[in-house]
A and B are shown apart, each in its own frame.
Chain A
Amino acid sequence: MDLPHFWFLLVAVFFGGYFLLEGFDFGVGMLMPILGRSDEVKRRVLLNTIGPVWDGNEVWVITGAGAMFAAFPQWYATLFSGFYLPLLLILFGLIVRVVSIEWRGKIEDPRWRRWCDVGIGLGSWLPAILWGIAFTDIAVGVPLDENGYVTGGLPVLLRPVALLGGAATCLLFLLHGAVFVALKTEGEIRVAARRLAVGLVAGAAPVVLLLGWTVSWALGEQGRDMQLPFYAAILSSAALLAAALAVRLVREGWAFALTGASVLALAVLFFGSLYPNLVASLPYPERSVTIESAASSPYTLKVMAWAALGTAPFVLVYQGWSYWVFRKRISAAQIPPSIGLSPRLPAPGKAGEPDGNAGDR
């Protein structure tokens, strides 16, 4: 395999890893108002299943974008300038999610927490849908002008097939999150998450199949290789059915591995459909950004390959270790009393006296 292809694979691995790991983070975020409805402790249980790891998971997309920039500057430039609005919305979502998660417990006030829950919701729903839309769009192809800018605006971005892609990632991440919750919790939430997961399979599996069929048909129309997306979708939905079975048998570890496999198969669908392009151009295929045309110089690719291969094992080891450290299930009984401060400052003159909330442990 030559260096540009190796890097294509590596970028795909970064984004696949991102979908795999942030997929359940988004899922948990989206499920907070559903599984934790009207119960603050339940919502905290849900949030704390991803508590120690979500930040490290998010780095996968930052590093993925950095790798894209280093290895395929044309891809990075075309993709990020072309999907201006969706990316701004994703960024908006990610920003409010980060601060909402970290700041939620800092203030003891139902209104404060409600706003933070809105932030976590926005930051989970928006990227979960928009990444699917964006990746389906570039897989099927977008109009590019001669300077490499995406043209056509919203009607192109929000084509039916792209919306289907958004629905697929969203449903898949919801399901992945529900199975993760079933794996990581104890008690009522675990039961509810299992029930929800089985129901979600019934929604997600057909959507993924339909997406695979539509993308495959669209590629066939353009005379491109149409088999891979089709088989990837079959694999992805088959893994979902198996996951549903595993959930029914209370084999949550297996179920999580299977939804993970399904998410990865979807990533294969996206990146496999692209190949050998990076951004397929419709209707002028000669304007497509390809692996060959977009790759950095051989020296950059070589240096960066050594750097990536040299450091990745360490990253995998310590990220794995952090999952191992926090491997135990969480139950509502384990959630400590809230230690947030009251929203207002203590009365002047009494500054520094611990107020009612601070000492209630």
Chain B
Amino acid sequence: MTALDIARWQFGITTVYHFLLVPLTIGLAPLIALMQTVWHVTGDERWYRMTKFFGKLFLINFALGVATGIVQEFQFGLNWSEYSRFIGDVFGAPLALEGIVAFFMESTFLGLWIFGWDRLPRRAHLACIWMVAIGTNASAYFIIAANSFMQHPVGVRYNPEKRRAELTSIWELLTNNTTLAAFPHTIAGAFLTAGTFVAGIGSWWLVKEKADVSEMFRPVVRLALWVMVAAGGAVAITGDVQGKLMFQQQPMKMASAESLCQTETDPDFSILTTGTHNNCASISRIIEVPYVLPFLAKDQFTGVTLEGVEDLQRAGVEKYGPGNYRPNLFVAYWAFRAMIGWALGSAALAAAGLWLTRGGRTPRQGWFRRLALWALPTPFLANSAGWVFTEMGRQPWAVAPNPTGVKEIHLTVQQAVSGHAVGAVAASLIGFTLLYGFLAAVWFGLMRRYVVEGPLEHDAHPPGARAEADEDDEAKPLSFAY
């Protein structure tokens, strides 16, 4: 293994880890804000208890999300310093904006929300969780704008004297069409994740025999199921838009996703192939569907010619010199299918849940309870698969060349990596992997423990919002303390 391989593994592991937790945070914050809003408006205490119940799970998750996120902010400089030198002028801007606009907001208002139940007027306390929700979503926008630049660089020029990319328009950077497609897709995925999380856990409790608990969970399950339907639709539509964009901007990525080796007119969409996949000659296509791929690529059923991996490779060598410009075909092909396939878990839960809870019914089926649990991990897996596809489909580029952009703006991962010794990078890879693995186990244990415990007795009634005689009750216990 070279330092490059290890650095790639490290970035992959830490990022996939981070993004197991992030979508839940992004989607759950607005859902909790919504629950608290319903309680605030209707005064129905069931919604208060759901706010507290899912709020606890949210906080357990948020902690690890923050912890793994800190690493990402530093890792560009640690392991990818040549990349940072080349692209910092452009890439640093959305990162800094993310910090100053979004991170401050979510962290400060989250502190106010956690500790402010009896310190703030109710309306201000409600506003705090909405600020957290806005902050988490805003941070996603900035970081996706940064990532989209790596997929499709815009708003940039090349400075030959300093040998670096320079920003020419922040507006173009923030309205990159890749960003405008990737952001809604990611957010929809996050809402699907959080919806599945709430509906899955809620359904599990719904099927339990105790009537009072079922009654408590019913409304929130219905809400989450409808969120899943809306988010699922949005995922599909934004995914389609993004796919069409990718066929124009990164044809190699899409050709790899289809294991389309030679340029073909009206190729069939492949569902199953066998072979070692990194070798075009070994691939045999087993199940194929006609008309789908041309539609995915260009909104037409016929008359579409798509370039194949081998032809794109030849074009790459001609344009950028000798080298391998093919991503890992096996990963690209299967990650794409896994992303779409895992979403079926959420779809099954949404369909079964909406049917079984129709017209005020409370489901009692054991299989539904099992389905709810099995569906829980699927959106997380789909999110990971989607990002693995996006990022590994970009290889060998750290900054992929824009077919209609400035021709000097591209960088391979080989050129991007820091010049560290193998031992140093390997030590950090092992360190992070072990630490993250351990924390993942603790995270799962805590989440499971708090889900199984259900709504807690001491959260049965809301604390009094800030009392009139605030100054007099110095010794009153805090409503929450670590």
Interface, chain A (partner B; CB < 8 A) = 44, 47-48, 51-56, 58-59, 62-63, 65-74, 76-81, 84-85, 87-88, 91-92, 94-96, 98-99, 101-107, 147-149, 296-297, 299-300, 303-304, 307-308, 311-312, 315, 318-319, 322, 325-326, 328, 330-331, 333-336, 339, 341, 343, 345-346, 351-352, 354-355, 358-359, 361
Alpha-carbon distance between A345 and B445 when the two chains are bound, in angstroms: 10
Given A48-B478, A71-B96, A297-B159, 13 extra CB contacts under 8 A: A56-B107, A62-B70, A65-B73, A68-B92, A77-B82, A81-B419, A106-B450, A149-B418, A299-B166, A315-B100, A333-B475, A336-B479, A339-B458
A123's nearest neighbour on chain B, judged by CB, is B67
The answer to whether B273 has its CB under 8 Å from any CB of chain A is no
Contact of B88 among A53, A69, A107 (CB under 8 A): A69
Q: A69-B88, A331-B475 are in contact. Are A56 and B453 (CB under 8 A)?
A: no
Cβ contact within 8 Å between B67 and A94: yes
Query: Which A residues lie within 8 Å of B87 (CB)?
Result: 73
Among all A-B residue pairs, the 3 with the closest Cβ atoms: A73-B88, A80-B77, A70-B92
Per-residue contact bits, chain B 105-131, to A (CB 8 Å; 1 contact, 0 not): 101111110111001100000000000
Main secondary structure of the interface of A (DSSP, over half): helix
Alpha-carbon distance between A359 and B76 when the two chains are bound, in angstroms: 47
Cβ contact within 8 Å between A95 and B481: no
Interface centre among A73, A105, A147, A346 (most CB of B within 10 A): A73
The answer to whether B38 has its CB under 8 Å from any CB of chain A is no
17 A-B pairs within 8 Å (CB atoms) are namely: A62-B103, A67-B99, A70-B92, A70-B93, A73-B89, A78-B81, A81-B420, A95-B67, A98-B63, A296-B92, A299-B167, A304-B97, A315-B104, A333-B477, A334-B476, A335-B477, A345-B449
Query: Which B residues lie within 8 Å of A91 (CB)?
Result: 70-71, 74
Cβ contact within 8 Å between B77 and A79: yes
Query: Which B residues lie within 8 Å of A54 (CB)?
Result: 111
Query: Which A residues lie within 8 Å of B452 (CB)?
Result: 345-346, 351-352
Cβ contact within 8 Å between B119 and A81: no
Alpha-carbon distance between A313 and B309 when the two chains are bound, in angstroms: 52
Query: Which A residues lie within 8 Å of B107 (CB)?
Result: 55-56, 58-59
In whole Å, how far is B268's beta carbon from the nearest beta carbon of chain A? 45
Alpha-carbon distance between A315 and B478 when the two chains are bound, in angstroms: 26
In whole Å, how far is A52's beta carbon from the nearest beta carbon of chain B? 4
Cβ contact within 8 Å between B74 and A87: yes
Contact of A300 among B64, B93, B448, B476 (CB under 8 A): B93
Q: A73-B88, A352-B454 are in contact. Are A95 and B68 (CB under 8 A)?
A: yes
A45's nearest neighbour on chain B, judged by CB, is B481
Contact of A336 among B91, B92, B166, B481 (CB under 8 A): B481
Contact of B84 among A59, A69, A103 (CB under 8 A): A69
In whole Å, how far is A211's beta carbon from the nearest beta carbon of chain B? 25
Q: A77-B84, A95-B435, A98-B63 are in contact. Are A318 and B96 (CB under 8 A)?
A: no
Query: Which A residues lie within 8 Å of B167 (CB)?
Result: 296-297, 299-300, 303
In whole Å, how far is B205's beta carbon from the nearest beta carbon of chain A? 8
Alpha-carbon distance between A69 and B13 when the two chains are bound, in angstroms: 23
Alpha-carbon distance between A67 and B77 when the two chains are bound, in angstroms: 13
Query: Which A residues lie within 8 Å of B99 (CB)?
Result: 59, 62-63, 65-67
Alpha-carbon distance between A312 and B78 when the two chains are bound, in angstroms: 28
Cβ contact within 8 Å between B475 and A94: no
In whole Å, how far is B407's beta carbon from the nearest beta carbon of chain A? 19
In whole Å, how far is B65's beta carbon from the nearest beta carbon of chain A? 9
Alpha-carbon distance between A94 and B72 when the two chains are bound, in angstroms: 13
User: Quick one: which of B193-232 are within 8 Å of A by CB?
Assistant: 205, 208, 210, 213
Cβ contact within 8 Å between A76 and B446: no
Alpha-carbon distance between A200 and B42 when the two chains are bound, in angstroms: 54
Q: A59-B103, A77-B84 are in contact. Are A88 and B475 (CB under 8 A)?
A: no
Cβ contact within 8 Å between B74 and A341: no
Cβ contact within 8 Å between B78 and A87: yes
The answer to whether B457 has its CB under 8 Å from any CB of chain A is yes
Cβ contact within 8 Å between A48 and B456: no
Query: Which A residues lie within 8 Å of B79 (CB)?
Result: 81
Cβ contact within 8 Å between B111 and A99: no
Contact of B457 among A44, A85, A354 (CB under 8 A): A354
Query: Which B residues lie within 8 Å of A96 (CB)?
Result: 67, 435
In whole Å, how far is B175's beta carbon from the nearest beta carbon of chain A? 14
A54's nearest neighbour on chain B, judged by CB, is B111
In whole Å, how far is A181's beta carbon from the nearest beta carbon of chain B? 15
Alpha-carbon distance between A322 and B458 when the two chains are bound, in angstroms: 26
Interface centre among A76, A104, A361 (most CB of B within 10 A): A76
User: Quick one: which of B357-382 are within 8 Å of A by CB?
Assistant: none
Alpha-carbon distance between A215 and B454 when the two chains are bound, in angstroms: 58
Cβ contact within 8 Å between A81 and B78: yes
Cβ contact within 8 Å between A69 and B92: yes
Contact of A303 among B73, B85, B93, B98 (CB under 8 A): B93
Q: A107-B446, A300-B89, A303-B93 are in contact. Are A55 and B66 (CB under 8 A)?
A: yes
Alpha-carbon distance between A77 and B71 when the two chains are bound, in angstroms: 15
Alpha-carbon distance between A72 and B89 when the two chains are bound, in angstroms: 8
Contact of B424 among A77, A84, A318 (CB under 8 A): A84
User: Quick one: which of B274-306 are within 8 Å of A by CB?
Assistant: none
Alpha-carbon distance between A35 and B49 when the two chains are bound, in angstroms: 36
Query: Which B residues lie within 8 Å of A335 (CB)?
Result: 477-478, 481
The answer to whether B439 has its CB under 8 Å from any CB of chain A is yes
User: Quick one: which of B465-479 are within 8 Å of A by CB?
Assistant: 474-479
Alpha-carbon distance between A107 and B56 when the two chains are bound, in angstroms: 13
Alpha-carbon distance between A286 and B306 when the two chains are bound, in angstroms: 53
Alpha-carbon distance between A105 and B60 when the two chains are bound, in angstroms: 11
In whole Å, how far is B121's beta carbon from the nearest beta carbon of chain A? 11
In whole Å, how far is B6's beta carbon from the nearest beta carbon of chain A? 13
Interface centre among B103, B110, B428 (most CB of A within 10 A): B103
The answer to whether B442 has its CB under 8 Å from any CB of chain A is yes
In whole Å, how far is B168's beta carbon from the nearest beta carbon of chain A? 7
B439's nearest neighbour on chain A, judged by CB, is A99
Cβ contact within 8 Å between B115 and A51: yes
Cβ contact within 8 Å between A296 and B88: yes
In whole Å, how far is A101's beta carbon from the nearest beta carbon of chain B? 6
In whole Å, how far is A113's beta carbon from the nearest beta carbon of chain B? 11
Alpha-carbon distance between A148 and B87 when the two chains are bound, in angstroms: 16
Alpha-carbon distance between A47 and B136 when the two chains are bound, in angstroms: 25
A57's nearest neighbour on chain B, judged by CB, is B107
Cβ contact within 8 Å between A69 and B96: yes
Q: A341-B449, A352-B454 are in contact. Are A102 and B59 (CB under 8 A)?
A: yes
Query: Which A residues lie within 8 Å of B64 (CB)?
Result: 98-99
Cβ contact within 8 Å between A359 and B457: yes
Alpha-carbon distance between A297 and B157 when the two chains are bound, in angstroms: 11
Cβ contact within 8 Å between A95 and B70: yes
Q: A59-B99, A63-B96, A325-B120 are in contact. Are A358 and B458 (CB under 8 A)?
A: yes
Alpha-carbon distance between A201 and B481 when the two chains are bound, in angstroms: 31
Alpha-carbon distance between A94 and B116 when the two chains are bound, in angstroms: 25
Cβ contact within 8 Å between A44 and B70: no
